[in-house]
Amino acid sequence: MTDSGTTAARPPTLAAVAARAGVSVSTASLAFSGAGPVAESTRERVRAAAAELDYAGPDPRGRSLRSGRSGIVGVVLQERVLEAFRDPINIAVLDGIAQEVSPQGRALLLLADMGESAHAVQTTVMDAIVLVACSPAIARTIEQARRRDVPIVAIGGPVVPGVLSVSIDDRAATAQLARHLADLGHRDVSMVTLPLDLDRTRGPLTAERIAASTTMVADERILGVRDVFPAAGGVVAAGSYVDEGVLAGHALLADPAHRPTAVVAQSDLLAAGVIRAAQECGLRVPEDLSVVGFDGVRVDDAVPHDLTTMVQPAAEEGRAAGRAVLALLDGPEAADGAAPEGVAFTCTFHRGATTAPPRATT
Amino acid sequence: MTDSGTTAARPPTLAAVAARAGVSVSTASLAFSGAGPVAESTRERVRAAAAELDYAGPDPRGRSLRSGRSGIVGVVLQERVLEAFRDPINIAVLDGIAQEVSPQGRALLLLADMGESAHAVQTTVMDAIVLVACSPAIARTIEQARRRDVPIVAIGGPVVPGVLSVSIDDRAATAQLARHLADLGHRDVSMVTLPLDLDRTRGPLTAERIAASTTMVADERILGVRDVFPAAGGVVAAGSYVDEGVLAGHALLADPAHRPTAVVAQSDLLAAGVIRAAQECGLRVPEDLSVVGFDGVRVDDAVPHDLTTMVQPAAEEGRAAGRAVLALLDGPEAADGAAPEGVAFTCTFHRGATTAPPRATT
DNA sequence: CTGTTAGCGCATTCAT
DNA sequence: ATGAATGCGCTAACAG
């Protein structure tokens, strides 16, 4: 009784509906789109015909070719799905975008895993794209979007002309954390950074690596620390995950003779990892080691401690990006060059229980 | 210097490229699609012309109208993004789908939040859709898809004819957990279930609620418990989150006079919540209370303990769904009714450290 | 191998 | 308020 695969009768078209209703295609179109004046009686007739034919409404393909709009908003993530969504900050941002965009009838196209995203932008229909957690490495993706005349909004991205930017005060916020540590009396501070390049190579934080970095967010946060501790060193993690934080923590704490008294991690997940590493080294937090994070996404127990961190308005950023997209699409009516402007958000300091004055040095 | 909004010169078309290369449009098309025989020299000329015009390749809109294929695979989630991705099982499934589908040049369209999904299916172009963690409540979505001739794959969904189903042995797997508890000597077992309806109402698990349930997965798992403990009661949670588990746990453990000796939670996150609730009640796990979960997704510390659970091949399920989608699209060459068949997976028992014999009753 | 001929299904002028 | 015409940009058949 499976009625699929038998006759393969194609779905009815608007033309079929119009014919059955005894009106022209254009009138039927108007009846559905709501635009333009249509007599109530006519509209009713069209509706009836549609119901009889089990017509599902105008085919999105025809509509998108004709109108130039598909209702699809691409969202580019750097990593594959599994990795990208390990960090709740990305989920929050995505949710924020969806909040603004889906009530307007737009759907989100997930472009995860860099390699593919450039290709997808080239071959998949979309009205605009949002770059999440982006680095200059997506230059190729940006290029493709440009050529297709697809407007771009970047969250935390490089400020390229023509790309609308939604950002936060990474540097200042991190500096605030660093100052907090300085005020507590810390002098020997290390950091754990987000990946600096596409390879996501782990390793010590060297001048060369910073010079070669392609990740703006990480760079800014490094600068923030050094605004307060100019000589601060650290290690580079391969991603914003707890286990990466553990690895980094061990790297930092391995040598009892050269342990920092505080660690600035560039994300809460990394901070959680550092704390665990500290515990594994027999250190107590915050008595023996202070740890601060970044993001402020409280998700169940991913971050067990009450972490001292900078709270980032992730959902707000997503929403701002969503709004920007809508503005870019709905309102090219900005006749006077009043193109939508970028938005900058501010993080707020949260003093948790993972920071304290350093132990008296022996 | 922002070159957008000035002259609005539309992107070049294939026709323009063809003209510049001095070939026909169809030849140019072949040169890009790779299908069909094209002389190397010609192809070269076309490529050159495209480069000169900064042509980004065939416009997906025209292509999708003409060919009927968009390369877009819709993924329907019941909750909004923020909630859906709180449970790593969903992320794993989504990643599995992406694994199969994106190397084939397909992109995922996120249809989160039920309400909108039916509308999106009606208005957004897509070649197929995958229903994740679905309940019969998406009937409307299914209807829309059908009318559009969009093939459907359901993961853990109701077995509707015409919908390809990817499932696991929920009932048998849960029964196995229950038997494990029975073997340990437990007789007084309660459960914490996933939401039974769209409202996601919390409350005691009553016969009426089960009768009115629209969630197949939850139903099956309840049956699994009752295969072993026919009289087992429990509470219904409002979602698969740790904090819901805490709530449910407190509900179950509130009265010291009527505490179960073991709890079967329908997800690992819920189990983690129950464990926390137990601790807050001054109970030790597993000495005073045994707890089992379901899913087996190890994600950093979301589930702090080594949980006794049934491990679900989440990524495999996603991949199976992805493959099914591809088969449905690439191969309607199943001339002989050899339509792709559904797949059923099996969970594997993991004995963790959260189960033990019950305390000797006083 | 290449060009010619047809539309895919629809939204939008412009008439009436 | 409705209808007739015109492509949107492209690919699939067929000719040659």
Q: Identify, with chain letter, the residue nearest to nucleotide C10 (CA–C1').
A: A62
Domains identified in chain B and CATH numbers: 14-58 (no CATH), 72-168+313-345 (3.40.50.2300), 170-312 (3.40.50.2300)
Picking from A44, A121, A114, the residue whose alpha carbon sits closest to that of residue A83 is A114
- Please tell me which residue of chain A has the smallest CA distance to B305: A301
Record the tokens describing residue B148, joined without a space. Answer: 């559009």
Scan for tokens 């998108």, then name that residue: A64
Count interface pairs A-B at CB distance under 8 A: 196
Q: How far is CA B322 from the centre of its chain?
A: 11
- pLDDT tens-place string over residues A147-188: 999 999 999 877 778 889 999 999 999 999 999 999 999 999
The answer to whether the CB atoms of B105 and A122 lie below 8 A apart is no
A336 CB-near residues (< 8 Å, 6+ apart)? none
Of A337 and A209, the one with more pLDDT: A209
**Rounded average pLDDT over B35-58:** 92
Mean pLDDT, residues B232-250 taken together: 96
- Identify whether the C-beta of residue A202 lies closer than 8 Å to the C-beta of residue A237: yes
* Nearest-angstrom CA–CA distance, A176 and A183: 10
pLDDT(B1) > 70: no
Q: What tokens appear for B292 in the block?
A: 């089992």
B360: confidence class by pLDDT, cuts 50, 70, 90: confident
Q: Which nucleotide is nearest to B45 (CA to C1')?
A: C2
Task: Tell me the pLDDT tens digit for each residue of B132-188.
Answer: 977 767 888 899 999 999 999 999 877 778 889 999 999 999 999 999 999 999 999
At residue B244, the pLDDT reads: 96
Mutate: best of B14, B106, B122, B124, partner A, most A CBs <10 A? B124
pLDDT digits (tens, 9 = 90+) for B320-337: 999 999 999 876 554 444
Range B223-236 average pLDDT: 98
pLDDT, mean of residues A191-213? 94
> Which residue's alpha carbon is at the shortest distance from the C1' of C8?
B66
Record the pTM: 0.92
Nearest-Å Rg of the Cα atoms of chain B is 26
CA–C1' gap, B23 and C1, in angstroms: 12
- The region of weakest confidence among A158-167, B62-71, B341-350 is A158-167
Q: Is the pLDDT of residue A318 over 60?
A: yes
Give the separation between CA A298 and CA B184, rounded to whole angstroms.
37
With CA atoms as reference, report the closest residue to A241 among A360, A117, A63, A82.
A82
For residue B85, the SS3 value is: coil
State the average pLDDT for chain A.
Answer: 90
From the CA of B21 to the C1' of D16: give the distance in Å. 21
User: What is residue A246's predicted lDDT score, i.e. its pLDDT?
Assistant: 96
Q: Considering only CB atoms, which chain A residues are within 8 Å of B269?
A: 300
In which band, very low, low, confident or very high, does the pLDDT at A290 lie, cut at 50, 70 and 90? Answer: very high
Average pLDDT value for residue range A110-118:
80
Cα→Cα distances A186→A54, A228, A290, A291, B4, Å: 71, 11, 9, 11, 49
CA B62 from chain center: how many Å? 31
Confidence band for A310, pLDDT divided at 50, 70 and 90:
very high
Work out the pLDDT band at A298, boundaries 50, 70, 90: confident
Residue B2 near residue A161, CB atoms below 8 Å:
yes
**3-state SS, one letter per residue, for A75-106:** EECCCCHHHHCCCHHHHHHHHHHHHHHHHHCC
User: Per-residue pLDDT averaged across B59-65, rounded?
Assistant: 97
Give the mean pLDDT of B26-51.
92
CA separation for the pair A187, B337 (Å, rounded): 73
Chain position carrying tokens 């349930």: B213
The string of pLDDT tens digits covering residues B287-304 is 999 999 999 987 556 556
Q: Is the pLDDT of residue B5 over 50?
A: no
Which residues, other chains included, contact B152 with Cβ-Cβ below 8 Å and sequence gap of 6+?
B128, B129, B130, B131, B142, B145, B146, B162, B163, B164
Residue of A nearest to B241 (CA): A300
| pLDDT value for A37 | 86
Q: Which band of pLDDT confidence, cut at 50, 70 and 90, is reported for residue B118?
A: confident
List of chain B residues whose C-beta atoms are within 8 Å of the C-beta of residue A150: none
Nearest 5°: phi and psi at B61? -70, -50
pLDDT of residue B133: 77
Q: Is the dihedral of CA B109, A324, A134, A314 positive or negative?
A: negative
- List the helix and strand counts (H, then E) for chain A: 14, 13
**Dist. CA B53–CA A13, nearest whole Å:** 36
Average pLDDT, chain B: 90
- pLDDT-based confidence at residue B361 (cuts at 50, 70, 90): low
* Predicted confidence band of residue A73 (pLDDT cuts 50, 70, 90): very high
DSSP, res B103 = G
The proportion of chain A whose per-residue pLDDT surpasses 70, expressed as a percent, equals 92
